[in-house]
Structure 1
C-alpha cells in the first residue's frame, strides 16, 4: 500500500520527475525528495518501500490502462449505465409512440377517410351518371313541357336538357344535377300564378320617385306592388334591384313606370285613400312573363 501511495505521489508531483537528469541522478533525487515529503507528513517510510515505488512507477505496475474500444467494452459500458440508458430508451420509445400516434390520427387517418369519401362519391356519381341523372333529366324536361304554354319556355327547357346531357357525357355529375335543378325551377315558375297588385293600404306608399345616379336632374317613378295568389296569399319573389344589382326575396318591390302612370295612380289614391285600379299585371300558369295592364318601363327596386 505504501508503494502504491509512493507511485501516486510521484504521479501527482510532476516536479519530482526531472527528465533532464540521468537515471541514477533522477532516482537519487526522487528518493531524497520523497523522504522529505513523507518526513514532512510525519510518516516514516523505509528506503526499501521508496525504491519499490520508484521501480513500480517505471514498470507502470499500478497504472490503469483502459481496454481498447470494441463490442465487449461497449456491452460492459451499457451494462454499467443500464439505468440511465434504460430511461433514455424508454423516453425515446415513448416519443416515437407519441409521434406515430399523432401522425396516424392527424395525417394518415384523415387521409384515409378523405380517400374513402372520394371513393364513395365517385361510385355514387358513376351510378347516378349511368342511371338516375339521365332519367331525372328526361322526366324534368317532360314536366316542363306539360306546363309550358309559350314557345320560349319550351326552348329554355330544351337548352337545359341539352346542357344536362352534355354534363352526363363528360361525367360531370354536379353539372347534371344543376340542370335538373334548373328544370325544377323553370317548372315551378311556369306553375306559379298571381296578380301583381299596387299596394294601397293606409300608411304605406303606393308609389315613390328616385333621383337616378346617372342623371341627377331626372326622376324615376315606381309603383309599389305585391304578388297575390288566387287564394289571397301574398307571395315572396326574387327581385333584382336596378340600383345596386342585388337580388333579394321580398313580398313588396317597386316597378318603374313613366311619370304619367305614376300621377294617375296617385290621383286615384287621393280620391278616397284607395287605389281603385290596383291591378298592374297578371302572371298566368304556363307562362313566364307578367301581362301588364299598364305601361311599365321594366326596372325594379327593392328598397325606398
Structure 2
C-alpha cells in the first residue's frame, strides 16, 4: 500500500502551486492576490463595453485563498489556463517529488530503479574511491537549499544499495540542515509544515536508520526549533555586516548559512578570526564557497549592501505571502 495518504500529498502540492502564484502575482495582500488570480483565470469578465461608463466591481473568488491555506484542488480547466500563462505552475504539478512521496512503502526496488535511471544525468551518483570527491559532487548537486532539489536526496536516504553508501553517509549528516534552510525560502515557507510532516512519515515508513535518527528532528516542534535557530544565525550574520538587513531571507542568505554548516569546525574557526578583527564584510573564502554552489549568486552586491550604512528606515514588509 502507499506510504502516505495521496490526498495529503496533493494538498501539499497544491499549496506550493498557490505559493508560486502568490510570488508571481507580486500582490501586496491576500485580497489583491485573489483578484489577480481571477483576472488571469477569466480576463473576459473584466472587460467593460465601450461607452458603458460604469466601473465593474468583481468580488474575488475565495477559492484562491483556499488554495493558499488548504491546498484545494482546482478544476482542470482552471489549471490548464494557469499552466498556459505560467509554465512554472506546470513544473510544480509534474515535479517528481510528488510521485516519489506516493511510492508503496513495501516497494524496495523503486529507489534503486529511480537512481539507476538518474545516474547518467547526475554526477553525484557516480562512484569514487575518494570520499572528498563524493562529498563535493553531492554538495554541487544539491546547490542552494531549495525544495525542488529534494527528490534525489530523499531517494538516496531510502535506498539500501551499497553502491550509494558514501552519498547516503553525507546526506545523513547534512540533509536535516538542508531541508531546514530550504524551508526558510519566503516564497514557500508556509507550505513546509505540511511538507515536513509528509517527508517525516515517508522516511519513517521506509525505515529511518539509527544513523539518520541522530540528526533528524524528533517531531514538528523540533523542526520548528531548527528553523528558529537558523533565523537567529541569519540575524547574527546581518549584525556582522556579512548580509544585508532584510525582513525575509534571500538565496544569498540561505547559501551563506548552508556553506557555514558544511564548512564545519575548521571554517568556523577561520570565520571567528575574521569576526574578532571586526571585519564588516563577508570573507573572500565564504564568497568563493557560495559562488561554487551557484555562480549566478550576486554575492558581491549583497556584501556591499550589507556594509553600506542605512540612510533611511527599512521598508515595511509586504502583505502576507503564500
Q: TM-score range by the shorter chain?
A: under 0.3
TM-score by length of structure 2 reads 0.20
Ranked by relative contact order (alpha carbons within 8 Å, sequence separation 6 or more), the top structure is 2
Q: Which has the larger radius of gyration?
A: 1
Structure with greater strand share of residues? 1
Structure with greater helix share of residues? 2
